[in-house]
Amino acid sequence: MSEQGNKRIDGVRSIKRGLDVLLEVNRSGGIRAGELAQRLNLARPTVYRLLETLEELGYVARSASDERFRVTRRASSLGDGYDPGIVVSQAAAPVIGELSKRLVWPVDLSTYENAAMVIQETTHARSPLSIDRGMIGRRLPLLRTSAGRAYLAYCPEAEREIILKHIARIDEAEDRPYLLPKYVAQMIADTRARGFAVRSDGEYNERTSSIAVPILRDGYVLACISVIWIRTALDLPEAISQFAAPLLEAAITLGDTA
């Protein structure tokens, strides 16, 4: 085969690998280079090189908090349009980083996915007061976390009804007390009255408490921001007085980015 023919084959192979990488990053919602190399059965140096090229072209971006790669608005625009949740997640790292410095306790940003909130960005690894690590990608129950409660309280009513029916069909024992219509109605009323959701009774993690606010755009919840603290270190009124206003301010800032 001629040299020109070999170059053409190499070019096609490189394009295919690049598209495979982009598709897998999009499918995963966020992935590290090493894990991506394993999934695609490619050498790590090859994957790093392709990711760097895609990053230079603006199709993927590396998370500032955990080295995961995610697709950007530019990549999303190749399909049916951009996903505001992706845009918020990309913008979140510096915002929640500064917020965590101010509050000291760890801060999470999570988005809704299939009857759970999934952590997209976090400062757990950088907060000196965190008792958790490896939180990126962690799925959080909706009814027993402040992020989930914030989402349920502010999402459209029709969506909330579908989600609650989904949770009921999954039928996890821990969720049953919180699925009672009376409890759900009171939780939604209290959350909307305060402007933020609360987890303070050891429902999900008995060692910690949290509050969360929704990031809103045109009546839809794009994501939620939470701050997490050790229950024995702060009581709820003290935590609310310290954390609620900065969280609400950050949520407004991120809502304006989408």
CATH number of the domain residue 131 falls in: 3.30.450.40
pLDDT digit string, tens, across residues 193-226: 999 999 998 898 899 999 999 999 878 898 999 9
Statement: residue 46 has pLDDT above 50:
yes
CA dist 235 and 215 (Å) reads 25
Do 217 and 198 lie in one domain? The reply is yes
User: What was the pLDDT predicted at 56?
Assistant: 83
Which CATH number does the domain housing residue 11 bear?
Answer: 1.10.10.10
**Count of other CB atoms within 10 angstroms of residue 176:** 12
pLDDT above 90 covers a percentage of the chain that reads 43
Positive/negative CA dihedral, 198, 139, 65, 81: negative
Do 112 and 17 lie in one domain? The reply is no
Do 105 and 221 lie in one domain? The reply is yes
User: What was the pLDDT predicted at 12?
Assistant: 58
Overall number of domains in the chain: 2
Structure tokens, 44: 């790590």
Statement: residue 4 has pLDDT above 70:
no
pLDDT confidence bin for 64, thresholds 50/70/90:
low
CA dist 70 and 87 (Å) reads 10
Do 95 and 153 lie in one domain? The reply is yes
The single-letter DSSP state of residue 50 is: H
What phi-psi label fits residue 4: left (phi over 0), alpha (psi between -120 and 50 degrees) or beta? alpha
Do 100 and 221 lie in one domain? The reply is yes
Statement: residue 66 has pLDDT above 60:
yes
The residues near 80 (Cβ < 8 Å, ≥ 6 apart) are: none
In whole numbers, what is the pLDDT of the chain averaged over residues? Answer: 84
Residues 21, 51 contacting (CB under 8 angstroms): yes
Q: Higher-confidence residue: 6 or 61?
A: 61
Task: Out of 76, 97, 122, pick the residue that ends a domain.
Answer: 76
Do 53 and 103 lie in one domain? The reply is no
Structural domain of 251: 84-255
CA dist 115 and 123 (Å) reads 24
User: What was the pLDDT predicted at 10?
Assistant: 52
pLDDT digit string, tens, across residues 110-147: 999 888 998 888 887 777 666 666 677 888 999 999 99
Residues 146, 226 contacting (CB under 8 angstroms): yes
